[in-house]
Amino acid sequence: MIIISDRLLLNYKRCNRRTFLEIHGDASQQEPEKDFLVKLGRENRSHFRNVIQSRSLVPQKPQASRRDWQLNAQQTMELMHQGADCIIRGTLSVNYTQWQTALSEIALTPLPDIQSDFLAGIMFNGAPSLLIKQPGTSCFGDWQYITVNIKLGRKAKPEYKLIAAFHAYILGIVQSQTPERSLLILKEQNEHNVNLAHGLTTMQQTVGECLTMLASQQEPEVFISRQRCSLCRWYGYCHQVAKSTEHLSLVPGVTPKRYQYLQELGVNSVKSLVDVPETSLGEALGSDIARQLKQQINSLQSDRAVVRSSFDLVNTQPIPTGVIELYFDIEAEPERQTDYLLGVLLVDRTTNTEKFYAFLAERLEDEGKIWQEFLDFINLYPDAPIFHYSEYEADTIKRLARLYGTPKAQKQEVLSRLVDLHLWVNSSVIFPVESYSLKALANWIGFYWRETTGSGDQSVCWYDQWLNTQDRTLLQLILSYNEDDCRATRYLKDWLLDFLEYQRNHQLALTK
Ligand code: SF4
């Protein structure tokens, strides 16, 4: 039996390959759930409890757990029959025939023609956060239900609306009355009513596409996208597939849209990207992108860093240096909008020494205190450039200055000292790497983090655990990871400076 659940559909919206692997893949290839997702799950549950308490809801719940979905669905139905005002942890379940019959009743396009033995075993299961009783009529009597989904997001994202419509549609079959609305309760308890007139049509199309893909038994093509894949449990497997097929998504600069253009040109492998003339690429993607992609592929093939063709080696001022240099990296908790660690590596070029300074908020409310300590510290070295990697540091300085009333002149002075190495890399050098993250670049030039399991997301989890347990070893992990981020930034800056100077001298020698 194949169960099309809300979770499966949600994953389909994010990546169709993921849904395929969930049903047809080898489960042993899945990695354990990342701590960051476990933490998000905890926060979702806490938000859920807050919503229930603040609205003084007293929900009833089926005895059976949702794992025993058949019994749970039956008990949910009984509670609806009894007219329970609010139902929590229930399941709505219908089979394929019920699904198809209801489509014609509300004039939606039937699901596409798919081999019948595949469809015979399909169930559609929805697990809304709540079912709330409303005035109206249904097969239960003079009342009906609407589905409510409680989400931590700030906005009514398309995937939330998709799932809301999925739930509403199944509920319509279960209570013989399509609800007029489906409610989303978002962060800060903002409410959003999903427009079902439009939502049901979109949902029906998505379900049709999803079933067609699952029935075809054809594994969808892999496409590695850092943003989408980094937290996925199939990442290891998919990355292996992409590597073994030399998939173009591993080439930085090949976005899904550009990949489509490349395929139209007949370019669907690393080899064909090497072979295709730059002029043909330029016609499809624009000459700048074409040149950049050609350089990137050459760099990957030769495993050598190269100067970007658009970079003016001779006339561009070198990366700033100082007798004292500061390397800055932040650890932040996005959910609580708190920056809990401002780490600075001080490098003294005269003594060739370095020392790490950490401004760490052991309590969330200490953010203002560490911000002031950080400002006092960097004011001790007014001539020192402050190196960092990504725009996050500048954005954070603006945010903290606004939040804690830092004088404008002081804020501007700090901002004027920032040197974003990510911008430098983007404008000057092509690296033979799959991504331009600090970790990927630093690893390629030979720098490795002491804490091999560390990442920005993992640091957030450690901090969250620290707040709950007060276990100081977690703070040590955070500090060690952040210090190495700062040291990696220094390593990258030194490397870039040497590399660009060497290339410049080489170019000048050639033109003499
Ligand atoms: S790793 Fe990426 S491509 Fe693979 S299933 Fe997950 S999201 Fe999809």
**How far does the centroid of ligand 1 lie from the alpha carbon of residue 238, in Å?**
6
pLDDT exceeds 80 at position 105: no
Residue at token pair 């624009």: 286
Statement: residue 398 has pLDDT above 70: yes
From the CA of 466, how far away is ligand 1's center (Å)? 31
- Separation of alpha carbons 120 and 134, rounded Å: 34
Distance 505 CA to ligand 1 centre (A): 44
Alpha carbons within 13 A on the beta-carbon side of 476? 4
Rounded CA-CA distance 205/303 in Å is 45
Ligand 1 lined by 235 (C-beta under 6 Å): yes
What confidence tier does 512 reach under pLDDT thresholds 50, 70, 90?
Answer: confident
Question: Which residue, judged by its Cα, is nearest atom 1 of ligand 1?
Answer: 235
Q: Tell me if the pTM is above 0.85.
A: yes
15, 225, 230: residue to mutate for ligand 1 pocket, most atoms within 8 A of CB: 15
Pocket probe mutation, ligand 1, options 10, 13, 223, 235, max atoms within 8 Å of Cβ? 235
Contact assessment for residue 145 and residue 175, using Cβ atoms and an 8 Å cutoff: yes
Residue closest via CA to ligand 1's atom 7 equals: 229
**Which ligand 1 atom is nearest residue 229's CA?**
2
Q: Which atom of ligand 1 is nearest to the CA of 21?
A: 5
**Residue 107 pLDDT:** 63
Q: What is the pLDDT of residues 466-495, one digit of tens each?
A: 999 999 999 999 999 999 999 999 999 999
Task: Please state the separation of Cα 147 from the chain's center in Å.
Answer: 27
pLDDT (tens digit, 9 = 90+) per residue, 418-475? 999 999 999 999 999 999 999 999 999 999 999 888 888 899 999 999 999 999 999 9
Q: Which atom of ligand 1 is nearest to the CA of 18?
A: 5
Mean pLDDT of 380-388: 97
Compute the distance between CA of residue 38 and CA of residue 44 in angstroms, rounded to an integer: 10
Looking at residue 338, its pLDDT comes to: 93
| Percentage of the residues of the chain whose pLDDT score is greater than 70 | 98
Is 116's pLDDT higher than 70?
Answer: no
Ligand 1 atom 4: residue of nearest CA: 238
- Fold that domain 324-509 belongs to in CATH: Nucleotidyltransferase; domain 5 (3.30.420)
pLDDT tens string 8-51: 999 999 999 999 999 999 999 999 998 888 888 988 999 999 99
**174-212 per-position pLDDT tens digit:** 999 999 899 999 988 899 999 898 899 899 999 999 999
Residue nearest to atom 5 of ligand 1 (CA): 18
Most confident of the following: 43-47, 233-237, 330-334: 233-237
Do domains 246-304 and 324-509 share one topology? The answer is: no
Q: What mean pLDDT is predicted for residues 284-303? A: 94
Atom of ligand 1 nearest to the CA of 233: 6
Residue 487 beta carbon below 6 angstroms from any ligand 1 atom? no
Q: Give the atom of ligand 1 at the shortest distance from the alpha carbon of 15.
A: 8
CB 212 within 8 A of CB 228: no
Please report the DSSP string for 104-166 in residue order. Answer: HHTTPPPPP---HHHHHTEEEEE--SEEEEEEEEETTEEEEEEEEEE-S-SS--HHHHHHHHH
Q: Where are the domains of the chain?
A: 2-216, 246-304, 324-509
Q: What is the pLDDT of residue 252?
A: 96
**In whole numbers, what is the pLDDT of the chain averaged over residues?**
93
CATH class of the domain whose range is 246-304:
mainly alpha
